[in-house]
A and B are shown apart, each in its own frame.
Chain A
Amino acid sequence: MPHLVIAKLLTKSAARKPSTRLYPAEKRAPPKGARGRLVMKQIETCVFCGVCGKKCPTRAIAVKRTDKTWELDRLKCIVCGECVEICPKDCLAMEGEHATAFVAKKIETHVQKPKPAASDPT
């Protein structure tokens, strides 16, 4: 029976540079289309229709029309991208880079600033 069949593989691998990266010093660029984390790209255009929250399978998004807030519970989000696909105003985006680890639970809140009072008749 042949012994040390792995020798060839090991010699090759010794001559090669390491297959691993020195993370986090050296990071891999995520491929195009990777689902890393959900980001609120532009809260200014959001119309608070709430479709994203309804479509979300884990109910990670809470939209409050009266307060003009859009909230995300990142620990609930499974990065499926349903909300990004459904948003009529293209406010949401999927980034390839993963979200970093958490030390405490928190809700990310985005608040839309009131529109400049240009059309205010008074």
Chain B
Amino acid sequence: MGQRTIIPFGPQHPVLPEPIHLDLVMEDEKVVEAIPSIGFIHRGLEKMAEKKDFQEMAYIAERICGICSFIHSMGYCQAIEALLKLEIPKRAEYLRVIWSEMSRIHSHLLWLGLTADAFGFESLFMHSWRVREKLLDLIEETSGGRVIFGVCKVGGVRRDVDAETLRRALEALAALEAEYREIAGVFSRDASVKRRMTGIGVLPKEDARALGAVGPTLRGSGVAWDARRLQYAVYGELDWAPITEEAGDCQARCLVRIREIFQSFDLIRQAAGKISDGPVAVKVPGNPRGEYFARLEQPRGEVVYYVKGNGTKNLQRFRVRTPTFANLPPLLKILQGCELSDVPVIVLTIDPCISCAER
């Protein structure tokens, strides 16, 4: 046995957009074990539910994460709507799906850029973000906000998208898809990208299941589970299937996300084709009482929302199990035995969102 050393990784590290700390126990260049510590950006957002009106909480839920913001508020609203036994208008459901898919594309593009940056492919990083910027413009045009959409509320959505704006958005999305195709080609075919990702950080299918991986981390290991299959909102009316890759390595997780972006473009088109006219919100009757778990698929994986109301305007308990939290145990597993130089790329392939994980 060689001599063991501990190398600290994070909380400040060039590849980490957010702070997490790993103690890497090394034997020469190999990682033997990774010991995590989290808690650098805990903000106590769950506790705020006890002080804030349950309708205002939608804004706070949205701020749990700056990237998958929309789906956070959607999850919260779905949970509260279930407690209130509130059926929201079809049009609102469709708009929610359109915005969630836009948010998925923007999150995945952000991830592609960060990953390219992690293995030192600067120009690919810039190009991914160039395309993402145009998508942010579309989000702003339809919802009014670029990153924090601010459109989801208990009982529906806060603004309607008129037919003309929707048509223009679809046109712009089609152009964007063509631009994205070129970037996707680089990620899936380029030799230098492959060398950094193929065969690195393999998470076998059984481990992915046993350790409770979610999202692209799970699907990259060949498990066809996607929380959208629960058919919340109008996912049951759209034609799609979870995307999986068998290899379980970094490349597989990357390919899942690449293909999911195409799928999201398609889902937006389908939803826009099926959307019907009508109101976008209903009145909220009274206060929530009871408990509910809502499960949704975020760009990073399955998120679970737990709410407990006691019939007053403040919730008694609000709890979020975010995808990054579930993906940390698989991450620690795949870090075992990898090379030190691969650590940044492996950490990024679970798409860590520490703000989410700590709330």
Contacts and interface: CB of A to CB of B under 8 A. Distances in A.
A80 B59 contact: yes
Interface in A18-43: 19, 30-35
B191 A2 contact: yes
A5 B144 contact: no
Interface stretch (B103-111, B179-187, B294-302): B179-187
Name the interface size band of chain B: 20 to 34
Interface in B89-143: 121, 123-124, 127, 130, 133, 137, 140-141
Given A2-B191, A9-B183, A35 B145 contact: yes
B191 A57 contact: no
A111 B140 CA distance: 33
Given A80-B59, A80-B150, A34 B194 contact: no
Interface string A1-26: 11111101110010000010000000
Contact of B144 (A4, A57, A81): A81
Contact of A57 (B59, B121, B140, B186): B59
Interface string B136-169: 0100110011001010000000110000000000
What size tier do the contact residues of chain A reach?
20 to 34
Given A8-B182, A10-B123, A81-B150, A2 B141 contact: no
Nearest to A13: B127
A78 interface: yes
A3 B191 contact: yes
B169 to A, nearest CB: 11
B237 to A, nearest CB: 27
B85 interface: no
Chain A CB count within 10 A is highest, among B133, B137, B148, B186, for B186
Nearest to A9: B182
The interface centre, meaning the residue of A13, A80, A94 with most chain B CB atoms within 10 A of its CB, is A80
Contact of A5 (B141, B145, B159, B189): B189
B277 interface: no
B150 A32 contact: no
B239 interface: no
Given A9-B183, A78-B59, A81-B150, A3 B190 contact: yes
A35 B59 contact: no
B235 to A, nearest CB: 27
Nearest to B56: A57
A32 to B, nearest CB: 7
A80 B57 CA distance: 13
B136 to A, nearest CB: 11
A95 to B, nearest CB: 12
Nearest to B194: A1
A5 B52 CA distance: 52
A31 B150 contact: no
Interface of A: 1-6, 8-10, 13, 19, 30-35, 57, 78-81, 94
Given A10-B123, A33-B141, A81-B158, 18 more contacts: A1-B189, A1-B194, A3-B191, A3-B192, A5-B186, A6-B127, A8-B182, A9-B183, A19-B130, A30-B140, A31-B137, A33-B144, A34-B145, A35-B145, A78-B59, A78-B148, A79-B145, A80-B59
